[in-house]
Chains A and B, each alone.
Chain A
Amino acid sequence: MPEALSLLCRVPAHPESRCWALAWSPGGALLASCGGDRAVRVWGRAGSSWTCRAVLGDGHQRTVRRVAWSPCGSYLASASFDGTTCVWKRQEDGFECVATLEGHENEVKSVAWAPSGSLLATCSRDKSVWVWEVDEEEEYECVSVLNAHTQDVKHVVWHPSQELLASASYDDTVRLYREEEDDWVCCATLEGHDSTVWAVAFDKEGERLASVSDDRTLRVWRRYHPGNQEGVACSGTDPTWKCVCTLSGYHSRTIYDVSWCHLTGALATACGDDAIRVFEESPTSEEAQPTFSLTAHVPRAHSQDVNGVAWNPKEPGLLASCSDDGDIAFWKYQRPEGC
């Protein structure tokens, strides 16, 4: 598969440090990155290259592990090993920290905004997932502390259109949460991985979820609603999630991140073997048993572990990746013929 994924540009984003995560702004024009140098950087296009537009360097005392944009694009949240989550508001001349969320007992591993923009989720090595609500006066309040996982929680992500939250953990499971009468409850537990689940991603409709793990597999789960045609049993009114596809044998090390493009349906993975891979659903794929094939593989995408991959939400085929080597790389993906 030559040139299916070609390098556009490489940027030394967090020099002498690791670049841990990336997030595209909802409009697709800006990319936020964060790293071991305790800073968040925001990048914008400059011709064929990317330049740093802002450095948010004084918010955290330790590594910043994840960043997330609010759906309106005016706020950026940063989760740090120092136990706090900062919320930055976009101003004319930069970003200003408008809130610092405390409460987790140790390293915060991930942060994510709900599609409504009024809820935020964080997760930590303290095994808990917190849900925060923000009001019109930009005041944040913790509305739930969920202790469903039995180990370090690595990643939280919201459903693209519903107030449904997913979390991935060192306890080998993915859990889903929803609100029930003023409180949040765990409504599903996805078991199947043999080791730590590092990341999850929903597809565009939100009926499928992809998870990647230390067990070197990518799993695709499908949601079955009560009363479904396929006869999958559901308990009560909650849908059941079933694993419908397991991709194994492609990755030679832990898979750290997954991104599911909502424009093209392509799945990109970030792996500890320094490679980036792209998978697409085969034309003969069936809904109940989908099949995916490897359409791109760049073995030395970075010189160290690839920590994150993110598809641009507006420009099909534009992919960004970040690594322990401190760099951000931008790629152009073109679906090969006959796939």
Chain B
Amino acid sequence: MADMFDGIVMAEQRFHGEGYQEGYAEGSHIGIAEGRRYGALHGAKIGSEIGCYLGFALTWHCLLQKCTDEKSSKKIRALESLIGMIQKFPYEDPTYDKLQEDLEKIRGKFKQGSCHQLSQVT
């Protein structure tokens, strides 16, 4: 006797449940698509930034090849260090635990190489 009314009595709960499942599935789907878009955008930004540093480092490394003084060798070593850091960076692995730390080290090395100072000697 109770089973006849079960369908009606439990209707609201059942519809809630089904609605929730559908909503959850749709939400996950949209979330993944959005995540992919965000990841691609962010990844491209970082790629562009690092690419710029690499271009800078390779160019200056080439330009300084002819200079043999101590100061230039120091600069060349610093550029080689930057190139090394960039080449070693694991681009395929977004879950790399030292990702931010290594990126900051690369940025720091680039700033060091690209900064200049003004000397005012009379």
Using CB atoms and an 8 Å cutoff, list the residues of chain A in contact with chain B: 96-103, 128, 130, 132, 138-148, 182-183
Contact = CB atoms under 8 A, between A and B. Distances in A.
B52 to A, nearest CB: 16
B86 to A, nearest CB: 15
Contact of B117 (A97, A128, A140, A182): A140
A100 B117 contact: yes
Contacts of B116: 102-103
A138 B121 contact: yes
A99 B107 contact: no
B70 to A, nearest CB: 9
B108 A103 contact: no
A11 B57 CA distance: 52
B105 A102 contact: no
- B74, B77, B112, B118 pick with most chain A CB within 10 angstroms: B112
Interface in B66-122: 71, 74, 77, 81, 104-105, 107-109, 111-112, 115-122
12 contacts: A97-B120, A98-B119, A99-B119, A103-B111, A128-B111, A130-B112, A138-B121, A141-B117, A142-B111, A142-B112, A145-B112, A182-B81
A148 B102 CA distance: 11
State the main secondary structure of chain B at its contact with A. Answer: helix
Contacts of B74: 141
B111 A145 contact: yes
4 nearest A-B pairs in the assembled complex, by CB-CB distance: A145-B108, A103-B115, A147-B104, A145-B111
Contact of A99 (B77, B81, B108, B118): B118
| Dominant secondary structure at the A interface | strand
Interface size class of B (residues with CB under 8 A): 10 to 19
A144 B17 CA distance: 59
Given A143-B112, A145-B107, A182-B77, 20 more contacts: A97-B120, A98-B120, A99-B119, A100-B117, A100-B118, A101-B117, A102-B117, A103-B115, A103-B117, A132-B117, A139-B117, A141-B74, A142-B112, A142-B117, A144-B108, A145-B112, A146-B108, A147-B104, A147-B105, A148-B104
B78 to A, nearest CB: 8
B121 A102 contact: no
Nearest to B104: A147
Question: Counting chain B CB atoms within 10 Å of each CB, which of A103, A132, A138 scores highest?
Answer: A103
Nearest to A101: B117
Contacts of A99: 117-120
A142 B23 CA distance: 56
B5 to A, nearest CB: 61
